[in-house]
Chains A and B, each alone.
Chain A
């Protein structure tokens, strides 16, 4: 059973460009979560999605950030018009359908904005 997969592992963007981060959950997992880790800090929750639904986006910045988890295909975290402060590691996690289940994390995408 493959783990949570994220790509790309590293992404370099210039200010003003768009960044698209992809996450494929573990097989059988229908819940996806995105977290952001700023340098030397812990992970902060951004958004929680189920297939075709955003359940909780209380940790998402109100502008430029969006997330989706379509019926088919990976979950996408999209950052428009990136700024230097967006440079961070973005981690995706997935869990089975039951509430309160352990979340399993992917290897992360390290975004660098020049």
Chain B
């Protein structure tokens, strides 16, 4: 079955550090890939997405590239801020009639001043 694997957290970084959160997936076919962010006590917000191989999704300084050859969708940001502290979920969704989003377990990011 489909699955998404994320690096375990928590990840603790100092402000302005470089961020990478690894995400790999297993899927039969060509899903769309997403990163969602969840701030404490809130729901999930769509951060960015990519719908086909080599697409790069970007938003708010975050970016991720859909790598079909390595089945990966790693999240990166060049300079994190304290306000980026949250849980980040990698996810996939098929466009072939299977509408359920499959989520990774989430990676908690803590950014300290």
A-B complex is real: yes
A32-82 interface with B by 8 A CB criterion: 33, 35, 41-45, 48, 55-56, 58-59
Nearest opposing residue in chain A for B95, CB measure: A100
Chain B residues with CB under 8 Å of A55's CB are 99
B61 contacts the other chain (Cβ, under 8 Å)?
no
CB <8 Å contact, A59 and B42: no
* Chain A neighbourhood of B89, CB < 8 A: 42-43
- Taking the complex as formed, is A17 at the interface, i.e. its CB lies under 8 A from any CB of chain B? no
Q: Is the CB of B99 within 8 A of A106?
A: no
B11-19, B63-71, B76-84, B102-110: which lies at the A interface? B102-110
Chain A contact residue count (CB 8 A cutoff): 27
| CB neighbours of A107 from chain B (8 A) | 42-43
Take A43-B103, A91-B44, A108-B43 as given contacts and tell me if A102 and B49 are in contact as well, using a CB distance cutoff of 8 Å. yes
A41 touches B105 (CB 8 A): yes
CB distance from A26 to the nearest CB of B (A): 12
Residues of A close to B106: CB separation below 8 A: 41-42
Nearest CB on A from B7, distance (A): 13
Chain A interface secondary structure, helix, strand, loop or mixed?
A: strand
A42 CB contact (under 8 Å) in B49, B98, B104? B104
Chain A contacts to B: CB under 8 angstroms? 4, 6, 31, 33, 35, 41-45, 48, 55-56, 58-59, 91, 93, 95, 99-100, 102-108
Q: Kindly list 9 other residue pairs between chains A and B, CB separation below 8 angstroms, not including A6-B43, A43-B103, A107-B43.
A: A42-B89, A55-B99, A56-B99, A58-B100, A59-B100, A93-B101, A99-B96, A104-B46, A106-B43
> Footprint of A on B, CB under 8 Å?
32, 34, 36, 42-46, 49, 89, 93-106
Pull 6 A–B residue pairs with CB atoms less than 8 Å apart, ordered by A.
Answer: A42-B89, A43-B101, A95-B99, A100-B93, A100-B99, A108-B42
